[in-house]
Amino acid sequence: MKFYLIIASLLVTSFTFTQETPSNPSLKIWSLQDCIAYALENNITVKDAALNKNMAEIDYSKAKSSRLPNLFGSASQNFSSGNTIDPITSDYVTDQIHSTNVGVNSSITLFQGNQISNQIKQNKLWLEQSIFQEEVEKNNIVLNLLETYLQTLFSKESIAIAENNLAASEKEVLRAKARLDAGTIALSDYTEAQSQAATNKYNVITSKNNYQQYIIALKQLLELPPMEALEIETIDENMGVINPELNKIEVYSKALSFLPEIQASNLKIAANEKELDIAKGGFLPTLSLTGSLGSGYTSINDNTFSDQFNVNFNQRLGLSLSIPIFNRNQTKAAVKAASINIEKAQIQKQSTEKEVYKKVETTYQNAVSAQEQVIAAEASKNAAEQSYKLAQKKYELGDLSTTDLVISQNTFTNAQQNYLQAKYLNILYHQLLQFYQGNNINL
């Protein structure tokens, strides 16, 4: 009696614990739009691109400030003994001299082969390019999220398929055991049913592991901490249909008109052209305006410190002209290097346009193919399901071997997986096609 009371107590405790541990109702369910908004604010790749833009803003501000005059202050205290020249009066004396000099000086570049103006324009182009580069990184994150999100949903549905197959195979093991005990099947049929159940259990474990791997990938894109739970929202399975009049060349032309990588390529060419102008400016003279104010004190003068500072106060204003004659071919080399960089930037733009065309062409072809595949896969799944149900009935009546039942189940499983894959590929490529037409991704 005591034993039964202990068992009853354990059962009540287990039941109470189960009742008091419901699923977490406060767990946030992430939609794709939630993921995109969060990632654009927190993803480190996007943050790095934003920092690059901030650096470009600093460089642009520094370039604009180069038009301004500089201003320096100076002060010195000197001691000399013996035959020397007084630093204040310039007289030749033989004595110990204490002297003080203070002053301020300034200079401004009036002309430098237009290098300052071109440098400002170039830095402005680099700033604009960095803005487009930030948009490129944001688009990359959005597309990576779209693909990973759909892969996660695919793997989640794969778990359900695997669990249903496991439940069915476990029932078939029980039936096979009953038939083995009745002597209507051989031991090999029973062990084959057990093997199929074990295989399906392995598939459940693999499906769950794949799901967790995609969850990890999503967390990394979102920059979520490892211990934070993540649950994603299912999507409307109303898959889009491609407009039969849609022309992939028109899609490509539209993509070229708005994709930030194309704009960034154009700005890189323009910035390198400004670099060529800057280099050519090295052949021209530089004209600067200089000015200074100063005064001083010397110990060999009988006047007071303040009187000498008033008397010795001086002002200077001058122009400085520097004409390049020969600088060991440094300017020529800079001009040639800038010309090469322009050609490289043009080639890079062509490469970017080719890559965009490849992506549009691949997306278009895959979208058309996936749209046809999902129809065929659905028909195949429905037929395999009917065939499997019929095989189960025959197996229950003893008109079908375990081997044939296993084959029918595997055929149905493969058909389910093929349909699931075709469904999500169709959604993926349809959304990518929308993206390259300039439309928002919306599931």
Go through the domains of the chain in sequence order and give each one's CATH number.
Answer: 39-68+113-284+328-436 (1.20.1600.10), 69-112+287-323 (2.20.200.10)
Q: What is the mean pLDDT of the chain?
A: 90
pLDDT of 19 higher than 50: no
Model pLDDT for residues 365-399, shown as the tens digit of each residue: 999 999 999 999 999 999 999 999 999 999 888 88
pLDDT of 290 higher than 90: yes
pLDDT at 37: 96
pLDDT at 24: 56
pLDDT band per the 50, 70, 90 thresholds, residue 23: very low
Model pLDDT for residues 257-283, shown as the tens digit of each residue: 999 999 999 999 999 999 999 999 999
CA angle 56/59/63 to nearest 5° reads 140
428 in Cβ contact with 369 (< 8 Å): no
**Side chain identity, residue 210:** N
Radius of gyration of the chain, Cα coordinates, nearest whole angstrom: 40
Min mean pLDDT across 108-117, 296-305, 335-344, 418-427 is at: 296-305
pLDDT at 293: 96
pLDDT of 239 higher than 80: no
| Neighbour count for residue 62 (Cβ, 10 Å) | 12
Token duo for residue 148: 């990973």
Model pLDDT for residues 60-118, shown as the tens digit of each residue: 999 999 999 999 999 999 888 777 776 667 777 777 888 899 999 999 999 999 999 99
pLDDT at 338: 97
pLDDT at 97: 81
The percent of residues above 70 in pLDDT, for the chain, comes to 93
375 in Cβ contact with 419 (< 8 Å): no
Tally the C-alpha atoms within 13 A of residue 224's C-alpha that lie toward its C-beta. 18
Question: Model's pTM, two decimal places?
Answer: 0.86
pLDDT band per the 50, 70, 90 thresholds, residue 238: low
| Neighbour count for residue 39 (Cβ, 10 Å) | 21
Q: What is the DSSP letter of 440?
A: P
pLDDT of 342 higher than 80: yes
